[in-house]
Copies of this chain bind each other. A is one copy, B any other.
Amino acid sequence: MYIAMNRFQVVPGEEAAFEQVWRERDSQLETVPGFVDFKLLKGATDEKQTLYSSHTVWQDYAAFEGWTKSEAFRRAHEGAGDRKKLYLGHPVFEGFEVVQQS
């Protein structure tokens, strides 16, 4: 199992707009082979930012990698440039292999 997370430093006051973008996007993830589960996570807030992270579980790394090369991936990221005012800097990707599970 593989977990792909993408961290966003959201501008204070733009949290609701940022969440709305995610709520309204048509990711078509459910149609992608190897997709398990998607969550949007909200982390800590300080005076400069609110941390958010997307959190997508895949059957394995190969499934995630296959998605990044798919038409569904391209469509899911259309218009991402227009949303840059909602967050600081670039999203930061982190991928994790699940090595133990209870």
> Can you list 5 A-B pairs with a CB-CB distance of less than 8 A?
A37-B102, A38-B101, A40-B99, A42-B99, A43-B94
Known: A3-B55, A55-B3. Contact between A40 and B98, CB under 8 A?
yes
Count the copies: 2
Which of B30, B97, B100, B102 is in CB contact (< 8 Å) with A102? B30
**Separation of A42 and B55 alpha carbons in the complex (Å):** 15
The secondary-structure label for the interface of chain A is strand
Q: CB-defined interface of A9-40 with B at 8 Å, one 1/0 digit per residue? A: 00000000001001100000110000001111
The size class of the interface chain A forms with chain B is: 20 to 34
B100 touches A23 (CB 8 A): yes
